[in-house]
A and B are shown apart, each in its own frame.
Chain A
């Protein structure tokens, strides 16, 4: 039920209930008064009617007595009874005719003999009529009565009187008078004071106690003698009336089935009952009218109240409805609608308050929108940063659950983002790093921004189980859900590789540097060495000359010459070495066999002298190298093999190629001798510049350095294998045959 209906109902109930109650009280009070008044009125009417009817009854009784008291009549009857002479009969006829004339109401007068035979009558046709068995005759023999009603031949209601005729206390006969009831009727029909429906009804009591109406009623002309009320119908007032009970009836239904007010009266002489009644509808007509007026007023009043309450409630609810509609619009998102605030009453105030609220809502909304936008943009920024980040980023709560991971992390680890989020971070930690969980818990006790386990080599594992080195930096982020940790995970594989390469480069640079240093050092020393010899022996020569020691002088000269020669060789070799470093190489395909044979040709003299046995293996390959340099390589190696032969052992040198044990695709070239061999300690040293293992043999100590340099520029490697002094040596080398020209000169 809405407010409007409630208000209307409230107004109506408040105003109408009081009116209805007060009017009802008034009405019932009025009705009671009216009832009493009407009953009083009816009583007075009834009393008057009773008096009248009683008077009429007495009058008729008087008339009957008057006629019966005619002595001549009684004498004539007596005589007629005795003689039966017409004369007496005529006399009687004359007398009763006179009596009839004097009273208008008398219609017929009969003189009945004791045998019941009419002996005289005003109406000649009635003479000789026998009425022996009639009540009127029977009762008339005993007393005077006016109590017999009959319809005459014209159906007019007649009242009949009868009474005994005595002469000297001798019963002679019965006097019967038929009279019209007009006088009584006119009395009964006097409705004065009874309005439209009021009437007086008259009934006589039968011997059984029943009531028989003796007069036509106002609404039923045929009621007389026809309307009979049984004595057991004790609710009918007439029953009370005929039985002598005088009462008031406030509510009773009469013979017409109408609600009436009635009063009963009893008329003693003829034992008649009299009821004066009036229809309630008429009696209370003004009350009903009043009631109707009240009801009409109530209805009008109600309508007015309804209209007023509708108006008022509309006044009250209209702004509320409007406000509701406004609120609905606001709910639908239109924050720019405004409530009506023109009214001066509370609704206006409500409207103003509402508008203030809407305004503040609007401003809040704007703030919210702005902060939403900011949030969205910062979110987008965050997403952007997160997704564009090269490094893996993840967020972990204090239970180690991954809350967030970016694409980069997914790419790094091979796990999809969905496979990571919701899992513990240990999914990314190798099983071998079993202290991670503990360390994570420790970190959460005092979270600070720091790299994870700085100094340790940390690995993360991929979906396929492989591991990769990472650097992890941790940053605590305080959120509403508590502290979480943002971890940035950087794959440092490449960096470590670069660092390793850098280290290697540095090491090789250092090596180069050291080599360079040693080079300059050795060069300066070894170049100076012959000079020292020369200058030293010149000094000694001077002394020998002074002492004229010729033997020594020759020796001195020889030393000086040797030193000069050595100097010459040194410079040549150094020049050669530096040239190898400076020049780029030009590779060509060259058959190793041809290369070796041309070298052997150069060494023919030496080979012949030493009787060296040179074995060149068959099926040597063709290599893609700088021809001249590799000639040098083989020259140096074969020359050395002969030079460092064992005393008393014919040198045997095998030149060949074999497959690398580790890499069958790689060919290892070798020059194997049966010479003095090289102690394991010096097997690397011999490739150094000016390094010699003995000063017993000639040589500048540059040869193997040159060979090594040639290997370097061919991206090759040379090494020596020997089981030690006395067991011979095998010089092995591998080369890259790519066209890439390496230039690693100093």
Chain B
């Protein structure tokens, strides 16, 4: 379970990996609507996500791009697939402690199973409603 002290009163830093701009807006807005204190960074493909997490290329500046407390990961991504990104995170010593929540269009999706196998921490079914998000946060120990 994630240590609650981890946030330490700071806003929760979330990395949203979502290629569909509409979907990304949906996620961001649902967080706003529910007044969840957070700081969301959005990247639109797998390559960008890994560059961010590994502080490569455009994201090499650690202060500007701090490691998130949580990764919201869509599976269908251009260039590098969501599962690959998940794999990378969970096999990287620096990153594997970061909880990864899968964004999916269906709760019964076989992707969910695949994701759990790769140590995904939880999943959210799009479009995300507040209740399911709260529940997920509880599961992760943030509330």
CB neighbours of B26 from chain A (8 A): 532-533, 536-537, 540
B106 lies within 8 A of chain A by Cβ: yes
Given contacts A532-B105, A532-B127, A695-B45, contact A559 B20 (CB under 8 A): no
Judge if A525 is at the interface, Cβ distance under 8 Å.
yes
Chain B residues lying within 8 Å of A537, measured Cβ to Cβ, are 22, 26
- A528 beta carbon closer than 8 Å to chain B: yes
From known contacts A532-B105, A535-B127, infer whether A540 and B29 are also in contact, taking CB-CB under 8 Å: yes
With A525-B76, A539-B127, A682-B79 as contacts: A695 and B44 at CB distance below 8 Å: yes
Q: Is the CB of B19 within 8 A of A695?
A: yes
Residues of chain A within 8 A (CB-CB) of B126 are 532, 536
Q: Does B141 interact with chain A (Cβ within 8 Å)?
A: no
A338 within 8 A of B: no
CB under 8 Å from chain B, chain A span 535-588: 535-537, 539-540, 543, 559, 562-563
Among A526, A543, A562, A682, the residue within 8 A (CB) of B76 is A526
A685 to chain B: closest residue by CB: B79
Contacts of B119 in A (CB 8 A): none
Mostly, the A contact residues are helix
Q: Is there an interface contact between A694 and B23, defined as CB atoms closer than 8 Å? A: no
A693-B127 in contact (CB<8A): no
- Establish whether residues A533 and B29, one from each chain, have CB atoms under 8 Å apart when the complex forms: no
Query: With contacts A535-B127, A559-B25, A695-B44 known, is A529 near B20, CB below 8 A?
Result: yes
Q: Closest Cβ of chain A: how far from B117's Cβ, in Å?
A: 16
Main secondary structure of the interface of B (DSSP, over half): loop
Give the B interface residue count (CB, 8 A). Answer: 23
Interface size on A, residues (CB 8 A): 28
Return the contact of A533 from the options B22, B76, B106, B110 (Cβ within 8 A): B22
8 A Cβ contacts from A496-543 to B? 521-522, 524-526, 528-529, 532-533, 535-537, 539-540, 543
Q: How far in angstroms is the closest Cβ of chain A from B94? A: 22
**B113 in contact (CB, < 8 A):** no
Say if the beta carbon of B2 comes within 8 Å of chain A. no
Bound CA–CA A396/B136 (angstroms): 76
Assess whether B22 is in contact with A563, with CB atoms less than 8 Å apart: yes
Asked if B78 CB lies within 8 Å of chain A CBs, one says yes
Given contacts A533-B22, A562-B22, A563-B22, contact A692 B78 (CB under 8 A): yes
Q: Does A387 contact B (CB under 8 A)?
A: no
- Contact between A694 and B127 (Cβ–Cβ < 8 Å)? no
Residues of A within 8 A of B37 (CB): none
- Known contacts A532-B127, A533-B20; is-contact A694 B45 (Cβ 8 Å): yes
> Would you call B33 an interface residue if the criterion is a C-beta within 8 Å of the partner chain's C-beta atoms?
yes
> For the complex, is B135 an interface residue (Cβ under 8 Å from A)?
no
Q: Is A528 touching B33 in the complex (CB atoms < 8 A)?
A: no
- Contact B105 A525, beta carbon cutoff 8 Å: yes
Indicate which residue in B21, B29, B79, B106 contacts A528 across the interface (CB closer than 8 Å).
Answer: B106
Cα A693 to Cα B78 in complex, Å, equals 5
Of B19, B22, B30, B127, most buried by chain A (CB within 10 Å of CB) is: B22
In the complex the two chains form, is B76's CB within 8 Å of A522's CB? Answer: yes
A691 at the interface (CB under 8 A from B): yes
Which B residues are in CB contact (< 8 Å) with A539?
127, 129
Most buried by A among B44, B106, B111, B126: B126
Contact between A543 and B33 (Cβ–Cβ < 8 Å)?
A: yes
Please, how many angstroms separate the alpha-carbon atoms of A681 and B23 in the complex?
Answer: 26
A227 to chain B, nearest CB (A): 170
**Distance A537 CA – B29 CA, assembled complex (angstroms):** 10
Contacts A532-B126, A532-B127, A540-B29 known; A693 to B22 CB distance under 8 Å? no
Nearest residue, chain A, Cβ from B27? A536
Given A528-B106, A543-B33, A694-B45, the answer on whether A536 and B76 have CB atoms closer than 8 Å is no
With both beta carbons as reference points, the residue of chain A lying nearest to B110 in the complex is identified as A521
Closest partner residue, chain B, to A526 (CB atom): B76
Is the Cβ of B127 less than 8 Å from the Cβ of A691? Answer: no
Please tell me if the beta carbons of A695 and B78 are within 8 angstroms of each other in the complex. yes
B20 closest partner in A (C-beta): A529
B110 to chain A, nearest CB (A): 8
Chain A, 675-701, contact with B by CB distance < 8 Å: what is the 0/1 string? 000010110010000111111000000
Complex alpha-carbon distance, A525 and B22, angstroms: 15
Return chain B residues, CB-CB under 8 Å to A532: 23, 26, 105, 126-127
- Nearest-neighbour CB distance to chain A for B39, whole angstroms, equals 21
Contact A691 B78 (CB under 8 A): yes
B1-51: which residues lie under 8 A (CB-CB) from chain A?
A: 19-23, 25-26, 29-30, 33, 44-45
Q: Which residue of A lies closest to B75 (CB)?
A: A525
Q: Give min CB distance, B129 to chain A, whole Å.
A: 8
Whether the Cβ atoms of B127 and A536 lie closer than 8 Å is yes
Bound CA span A536–B45, Å:
21
Q: Specify which chain B residues have a CB less than 8 angstroms from the CB of A692 in the assembled complex.
A: 19, 78
Min CB distance B111 to A, Å, is 8
Name the A residues within 8 Å of B106 (CB-CB).
Answer: 524, 528
**In the complex, which residues of chain B have a beta carbon less than 8 angstroms from the beta carbon of A681?**
79
- A694 / chain B contacts, CB cutoff of 8 Å: 44-45, 78
Give A563 to B29 CA distance when docked, in angstroms. Answer: 17
Residues of B within 8 A of A695 (CB): 19-21, 44-45, 78
Q: Would you give the 0/1 interface string for A373-392, flagging 1 where the beta carbon is closer than 8 Å to chain B?
A: 00000000000000000000
Q: Within 8 Å CB of A559, what residues of B?
A: 22, 25
Within 8 A of A (CB), among B44-61: 44-45
Closest to A694 in B: B78
Interface residues of A in 613-645 (CB under 8 A from B): none
A310 to B45 Cα, complex, angstroms:
133
**Cα distance A690–B33 in the bound complex, in angstroms:** 32
Residues of chain A contacted by B30 (CB below 8 angstroms): 540
CB distance from B82 to the nearest CB of A (A): 11
Residue with the highest number of chain A CB atoms closer than 10 Å, among B20, B30, B33, B44: B20
Give bound CA distance, A522 to B33, whole Å.
Answer: 30
Complex CA distance for A694 and B80, rounded to whole angstroms: 11
Q: How far is the CA of A522 from the CA of B106 in the complex (A)?
A: 13
Across the A-B interface, the 4 shortest Cβ-Cβ residue pairs: A536-B127, A536-B26, A533-B22, A528-B105
Instruction: Give me 15 other A-B pairs in contact (C-beta within 8 A), A525-B75, A529-B23, A695-B21 excluded.
Output: A522-B76, A524-B106, A528-B106, A529-B20, A532-B26, A532-B105, A532-B126, A533-B20, A536-B22, A536-B26, A536-B127, A539-B129, A540-B29, A691-B78, A694-B44
23 residue pairs of the A-B complex, CB under 8 angstroms, read A525-B75, A525-B76, A529-B20, A532-B23, A532-B26, A532-B126, A533-B20, A533-B23, A536-B22, A536-B26, A536-B126, A537-B22, A540-B29, A543-B33, A559-B22, A679-B79, A692-B78, A694-B44, A694-B45, A694-B78, A695-B19, A695-B45, A695-B78
